[in-house]
Amino acid sequence: MTVEDQSPSHSTDQTATKPTAAKPTAAKPTAAKPTTPSRSGPVSLLTCTQCGTKNRIRPSPKGVPSCAKCKATLPWLVNATDATFETEATTQVAAVVDLWAPWCGPCRFVGPILEELSREYAGRLKVIKVNVDENPALAQRFDARSIPTLIVLQAGRPVDRIVGALPKTDLAVRLTPYLIRRSPA
């Protein structure tokens, strides 16, 4: 009669007949969570409007992102958090911060408009989306009591504020002065 040895496959400890529930973890090393941010910043996936290539782009204070394959200027739309915002906001081009939340209807109206504008004004505009539910520090900093709220940044400094959902043409008109004026490098 052969009896299969039912040793637990996930355990190499064969000395104990039964795994004890109370495992002594006195010397548990409480290693600090590795929160060291990448020095080169968070990666955003930017799709080329010319050839469809998805480019992995990190924020850069100077210049604008271009497609690795066809060299076309990429629409610059990124998601930022409380942790990554400063890096993302440091840019040579005009930036629009979109303070939004998933439950906000007017935000869903403005979101696609900003995507279109990021394509149409590629190389002159960076759209930085901030989910206010997940990033309370930024929500507080920009006083986002009503959303959608758009903050226009030049050289990282707020220069305009648009509260509520504007139609695309109105939004484009409002943003035009900032798009033609390049921030000093």
By annotation, the residues acting in catalysis are: 104, 107
Q: How far is the CB of 68 from Zn ion (least distance, A)?
A: 8
Cis preceding linkage at 106, omega within 30 = no
Buried b (16+ CB within 10 A) or exposed e, 150-173: bbbbbbeeeeeebeebbeeeebbe
Q: How many other C-beta atoms lie within 10 A of the C-beta of residue 42?
A: 17
Is the CB of 47 or the CB of 60 nearer to Zn ion?
A: 47
Q: How far apart are CA 54 and CA 44, in angstroms?
A: 10
Is the CB of 68 or the CB of 159 nearer to Zn ion?
A: 68
Q: How far apart are CA 121 and CA 69, in angstroms?
A: 20
Does position 7 interact with Zn ion (CB under 5 A)? The reply is no
Task: Give the relative orientation of helices 105-120 and 168-180 as an angle to the nearest 10 degrees.
Answer: 50
Positions 32 through 51 that interact with Zn ion (CB under 5 A): 48, 50-51
Does position 67 interact with Zn ion (CB under 5 A)? The reply is yes
Is the CB of 40 or the CB of 50 nearer to Zn ion?
A: 50
**Stretch of 16-24, 52-60, 130-138, 161-169 lying at the interface with Zn ion (CB under 5 A):** 52-60
Q: How many residues in the shown chain lie near Zn ion by CB under 5 A?
A: 8
Structure tokens at 95: 């930036």
Q: Residues 37, 43, 56, 70: which binds Zn ion (CB under 5 A)?
A: 70
Q: Residues 42, 47, 53, 101: which binds Zn ion (CB under 5 A)?
A: 53
For binding to Zn ion (CB under 5 A), which residues are involved? Answer: 48, 50-51, 53, 67, 69-70, 72
